[in-house]
Amino acid sequence: MTNEREGLRVAVFGATSAIAQAALRLWAARGAELFLVARDRERLDRIAADLALRGARRVEAFVADLDDSSVLGRVLEAMDAALGVPDVALVAFGTLGDQTRAARDPEAARRTLTTNFVSPAVLLTALAARFEKAGAGCLAAITSVAGDRGRASNYVYGAAKGGLQTFLEGLRHRFAGTGVRVLDIRPGPVDTPMTAHMPKSGLPWASAERVAADILRAVERGRSVLYTPWFWRWIMLVLRHLPQPLFHRLRL
Amino acid sequence: MVSAVAYSTGHRAWGRVHRFAHRVVRPTSPHDARRALAAREGAPVLAFGLGRSYGDCCLNPEGLLLETRGLDRLLAFDGESGVVHCEAGASLADLLATVVGRPAPDGGVWFLPVSPGTRFVTIGGAIANDVHGKNHETAGSFGRYLVDFRLLRSDGRILRCAPDENPELFCATIGGLGLTGLVLEARLRLVSVPGLWLELEEVRFEDLEGFFRLAEESKEWTYTVAWVDCLARGRALGRGIFGRARHLRDPRPVPAPAPPRLRVPFDPPFSPLNRFSLQLFNALLFRRLGRGGRRHRVRPYHELLYPLDSIGAWNRLYGARGFYQYQCVVPREGAFRAIARLLDAIAASGQGSFLAVLKTMGDLPSPGWLSFPMPGATLALDFPNRGEATLALFDRLDRIVLDAGGRLYPAKDGRMPAPVFRAGYPRWPRFAELKDPVFSSAFWRRVAEGATEPARARAA
């Protein structure tokens, strides 16, 4: 799907996230054409300049808050103008939120569910229509291993990510037999600005660069579900199948 | 954002002797950094980049570390003037992978003006330590190539610092150990070189006089450095291998430096770098050049400038207790005698080091008030941390350095007593007036504020 002369065309929504930025740098180094969307103008402009210097053939940046569905039309028009239908669309925005709050404050729960499920699903719906027409491309979204089973410590976030996993599974079913690929990216804990304040003991933390390299490989190979780093596939397999009485004894 | 104050002990300097608890934030925009400073809740603050300084000048026990990894973007590059504009968390490796090697108007290619021994240092760290390289004689230190930088002070102001704007803060920040505020972004002047391949010559010398003779004969070479056999005594004292290199006019691109291949993923239970392996290592290194005592090669720049970058986390080879590096510089007048005394004291102690590096430094001045280099000779050595025995040896070396009118390099230091710092850096009281009141480090609290030495307590 790469057109060597024009470079891979990639659209990233939530381009200022650490994982998105790391993936964008890898795509830029390969001479890709990039379309970026994020809320924060200051960060977005800096990232766009950086990607251009790191080898991107072209970088277009668009400031928008994708939780506001009224801007969606304008965002996608800008994408159409910049790239047409891209080869890869990566939905990377999300928020960890504060589970203690989200578990008790309905408004906080609504915000976590909106940013991590409703907004990405709405965006993917609009993107899917374009990809369907083109009959090719890769629709990718970052979910989380937290979506694999509800746990006391972050089930609001986990439920939103789990919902998104199901949404992607459905899209994949819909596009089976066409040239459109649907990739569900499930990282474990990643060392990012969002998690910089947390002591890094206990869980195996991955770097955003590692996760990004895994994402590019999964896109190239047309994979469906990516656990990154790889061992999370097996950890989550065990965790998902743990009988409830045993599961309830764990503090997770 | 952060609901509870969480302390992390994961941030350590390269020598791994000190283990302190820090609060950590990673701002990703200037606005973010300002907000993090405002939310410090009274804690002292310090920037933390890639953790390549060796001792405690990059640590801030019980304080707040502002990780600069989130501020690592390249912002602009002017192919005519060679000026690159980037955020201060960007590393030399980022520049090498992008703008270095692009064509310059004079037919050469753009290159880093000054490189320390690793490419994994941030621009902010290179400014804060006013780093130097193997080309100090011909190029001076890093601070000479700064066009300007933007400095965030704890009162929230962002100041442009340049030779013609806030000149005092400009000079205080270069070599200022991160204590004048947070450098957000900088503009750096690259230099044009004929090509990215180096002509490299290695020559054996039999004693210290041989070293100084070769240094004198090598004025036509851009880079010079020598490895010294620290265990040799008597007539062989100061023997070693002298390396010199210069850029070739060779348009071939160099192979990209491989990412760190070998990893040292854990602490060996005891250091494999004991006295016997060192003797063997030094003897082999010394004999490598064969009968002629001379070898001539053409190699890509990174093999000479960053020899250890291909081994990930080599610092772990020194074991769980970590290691110290001791780097001093002594003035040209009396350098021979001082270096001879230092080498003799080290050989007598039997605590020889894996890497003993000797080089001369030139006359080009730095704008930085606390800049380390001075015209003369600098000696750098690693020592596995053996507690009091190691620290006692350093005290003996300190006396030789001070007698000669020299000083120690804060970037490498984790134990320098206050009087040694104050004697080596007579401009420090003037610096202290411009230091940001909120910024601090374990190093600064020891050398300037008379804090008891945490290094000594924890190292024992």
Same domain, B298 and B417: yes
Alpha-carbon distance A50 to nearest alpha carbon in chain B (angstroms) = 5
Residue B392 φ/ψ, nearest 5 degrees: -70, -40
Q: How many domains does chain B have?
A: 3
- Residue B9 is assigned to a structural domain of this protein: no
B184 shares its domain with B216: no
User: Chain B within 8 Å of A196 (Cβ-Cβ)?
Assistant: yes
Indicate whether A157 pLDDT > 60.
yes
Quick one: B156 and B224 in the same domain?
no
What is the rounded CA–CA span in Å between residue A248 and residue A233? 21
Rounded to the nearest angstrom, the minimum Cα separation between B328 and chain A is 35
* Identity of the amino acid at A252: L
DSSP code per residue over B114-141: ---S-S--BHHHHHHTT---TTHHHH--
- For residues B314 and B207, state if they share a domain: yes
CB contact under 8 A, A53 and B8: no
Is the residue at B4 inside a domain? no
Beta pairing, strands B83-87 & B109-111: unpaired
* CATH label of the domain that carries residue B319: 3.40.462.20
Same domain, B395 and B448: no
In chain B, which residues have their Cβ closer than 8 Å to the Cβ of A50? 73-75
- Domain for residue B54, yes or no? yes
Residues B58 and B152 in one domain: no
Q: In this structure, is residue B15 part of a structural domain?
A: no
Interface residue A201 vs chain B (CB under 8 A)? yes
Q: What integer pLDDT is reported at residue A14 of this predicted model?
A: 97
B178 and B223 belong to one structural domain: no
Cβ atoms within 10 Å of A71's Cβ, excluding its own: 15
Chain mean position to CA A193: 16
pLDDT in tens, A122-134: 999 999 999 999 9
Cross-chain Cβ contact B29/A42 below 8 Å: yes
**Domain co-membership, B96 together with B210:** no
Strands (E), B343-447: 356-361, 376-384, 407-408
Q: Which residues of B331-346 are buried (b: 16+ CB within 10 A; e: fewer)?
A: beeebbebbbbbbeeb
Return the closest-CA partner of residue B440 out of B14, B66, B75, B69: B66
B142 shares its domain with B213: no
Q: How far apart are CA B59 and CA B273, in angstroms?
A: 26
Range of the domain at B45: 23-68+431-459
Tell if the CB–CB gap between B73 and A100 is shorter than 8 Å. Answer: no
Last residue of a domain, one of B146, B176, B193: B193
Predicted local confidence at residue B264, as pLDDT: 62
The answer to whether the Cβ–Cβ distance between B23 and A197 falls below 8 Å is yes
Domain closes at, from B193, B208, B232: B193
Q: What span, in angstroms and rounded, lies between the C-alpha atoms of B264 and B212?
A: 36
Does CATH number 3.40.50.720 belong to domain A9-247? yes
Based on the domain organization, do B233 and B366 belong to the same domain? Answer: yes
**Nearest CB neighbour to A193, from listed B9, B26, B77:** B26
Residue of chain B whose alpha carbon sits nearest to that of A49: B75
Answer yes or no: is pLDDT of A224 > 90.
yes
Q: Kindly state whether A42 is in contact with chain B, defined as any CB-CB distance less than 8 angstroms.
A: yes
**B23 interaction partners in chain A (CB closer than 8 Å):** 197
| pLDDT, position B115 | 96
Q: Tokens 């290159």 label which residue?
A: B111
Torsion-angle region of B346 (φ positive above 0: left; ψ -120 to 50: alpha; else: beta): alpha
- Contact between A196 and B33 under an 8 Å Cβ cutoff? The reply is no
Q: Are residues B349 and B270 in the same domain?
A: yes
Domain assignments of chain A as residue spans, ordered by start: 9-247
CATH number for the domain including B127? 3.30.465.10
Q: What angle do CA A15, A21, A27 make, to 5 degrees?
A: 100
pLDDT in tens, chain B (460 residues): 333 467 888 888 888 888 899 999 999 999 999 999 999 999 999 999 999 999 999 999 999 999 999 999 999 999 999 999 999 999 999 999 999 999 999 999 999 999 999 999 999 999 999 999 999 999 999 999 999 999 999 999 999 999 999 999 999 999 999 999 999 999 999 999 999 999 999 999 999 999 999 999 999 999 999 998 888 888 888 989 999 999 999 888 898 877 766 566 566 655 556 656 666 666 666 667 776 788 899 999 998 898 877 777 778 878 888 889 999 999 999 999 999 999 999 988 888 665 689 999 999 999 999 999 999 999 999 898 989 999 999 999 999 999 999 999 999 999 999 999 999 999 999 999 999 999 999 999 999 988 765 444 443 3
What is the pLDDT at residue B27? 96
Please state, in angstroms and rounded to a whole number, the distance separating the CA atoms of residues B412 and B394: 13
Cβ atoms of residues B271 and B319 within 8 Å: yes
B60 and B87 housed in the same domain: no
Pairs of residues, one from chain A and one from chain B, whose beta carbons lie less than 8 Å apart: 60
In a domain, B418, yes or no: yes
| Helices and strands (DSSP H and E) totals, chain B | 14, 20
Task: Supply the pLDDT for residue B268.
Answer: 60
Answer whether residue B16 is part of any domain. Answer: no
Show which residues of A are catalytic.
157
Set of chain B residues whose Cβ sits within 8 Å of the Cβ of A192: 26
